Amino acid sequence: MLNNDLINSKLDPLNPAIHVKHLSKTYGEFKAVKNISFSAQSGQIVGLLGPNGAGKTTTLRLLAGIMAMSAGQIEICGYDISQHLFEVRRRIGFLSGDTQLYRRLSPRENMNYFGLLHQLPPAQLKQRIEQLIEQFEMQSFAHRPVEKLSSGQKQRANIARILVHQPRVLILDEITASLDIISSQFMMDFLKQEKQRGCSILFSTHIMSEAEYLCDHILLLYQGDILDEGSPEQLMQQSQAANLTEAFLHQIKHYSQQGNLP
């Protein structure tokens, strides 16, 4: 068994795995994220939906510790990101559509490199790599350079890389945007499995049907603000919409008429 005592030490099922309070990000006078607050529980999939420029990527990069916030508070598994960035990074796996593996290394070597960055003991890391190779059926290409792999094989290797340290929180940015049908379904099945494992998953997409299928809770983002949130069923019911696309467009129209758009 892998020892996750350190990773799980502050994971309380009664408290949110992700807690965001009054989060803002500004670039000069431009407000990319505007005082947003939300939470995500363990074993919950939360989707950030919105058009390009809504603030989805910025929000996720703030939560992953890649960018510094202008104001607000972020807690991951009980750790304040401003005070315990290293502990936060040990507990998250971050993947975006443009995340690249080291092309000249094999999937096995990539996993080993990132496992060492997370300071996993060599014996534990070796065991974990073999588990992931089997889990994602990479036996036939785990030894080959990434630059010689198909797009689907690269995607599996990329997922395995972010799981090597067994994160409790996954932060995923537009990861299915350029995938074919088979690879997209593989990704959705993977997210369902991680949810069952108790992982908290926060991901962005502009594909409404994908969010409707996967998400327990949805944040509708527009121009850096949260227009509305709730389960897919709640959002559609409130707007009397047949799908999430209609619900989202209804919210934009409603707030525009009220003069409340951010």
Q: What does the pLDDT look like over 77-90, one tens digit per residue?
A: 999 999 999 999 99
How many domains is the chain built from?
1
Q: How far apart are CA 44 and CA 234, in angstroms?
A: 16
Q: Are 106 and 142 in contact (CB under 8 A)?
A: yes
Per-residue CA distances from 230 to 38, 54, 159, 236, 239 (Å): 11, 18, 28, 9, 12
Tell me what the mean pLDDT of segment 22-51 comes to. 96
Tell me what the mean pLDDT of segment 216-241 comes to. 93
Averaged pLDDT score across all residues of the chain: 89
Q: Which has more pLDDT, 81 or 254?
A: 81
Per-residue CA distances from 81 to 6, 21, 32, 173, 232 (Å): 17, 12, 19, 19, 29
Q: 178 CB contacts (<8 Å, ≥6 apart)?
A: 97
Q: Is the pLDDT of residue 152 over 70?
A: yes
Report the b/e string of 39-75 with b at 16+ CB within 10 A: bbbbbbbbbbbbeeebbbbbbbbbbbbebebeebebb
Q: Which domain holds residue 144?
A: 5-258
Q: Is the pLDDT of residue 141 over 60?
A: yes
Helix H or strand E encompassing 234:
helix 232-239
27 bridge partner residues = 30
What confidence category does residue 21 fall into, taking pLDDT thresholds of 50, 70 and 90?
very high
Q: Is the pLDDT of residue 49 over 60?
A: yes
Per-residue CA distances from 99 to 8, 55, 242, 244 (Å): 26, 19, 34, 28
Residue with tokens 């014996």: 123
Q: What is the pLDDT of residue 22?
A: 98
Tell me what the mean pLDDT of segment 17-27 comes to. 97
CATH number at residue 72: 3.40.50.300
Helices then strands, counting H and E runs in the chain, come out as: 10, 10
What confidence category does residue 3 fall into, taking pLDDT thresholds of 50, 70 and 90?
very low
Q: What is the pLDDT of residue 4?
A: 45
Tell me what the mean pLDDT of segment 100-121 comes to. 95
Q: Are 64 and 92 in contact (CB under 8 A)?
A: yes
Q: Coil, strand, or helix at residue 79?
A: strand
Q: 239 CB contacts (<8 Å, ≥6 apart)?
A: 246, 247, 250, 251
What angle, 0 to 180 degrees and rounded to 10, lies between the N-to-C axes of helices 107-117 and 151-163?
A: 20
Q: Is the pLDDT of residue 37 over 70?
A: yes
Identity (one letter) of the amino acid at 165? H
In three state form, how does the secondary structure of 113-177 look? HHHHHCCCCHHHHHHHHHHHHHHCCCCCCCCCCHHHCCHHHHHHHHHHHHHCCCCCEEEEECCCC
Q: Is the pLDDT of residue 9 over 50?
A: no
Q: Is the pLDDT of residue 28 over 70?
A: yes
Tell me what the mean pLDDT of segment 115-143 comes to. 96
Tell me what the mean pLDDT of segment 220-243 comes to. 93
**156-202 pLDDT tens trace:** 999 999 999 999 999 999 887 767 788 888 888 999 999 999 999 99
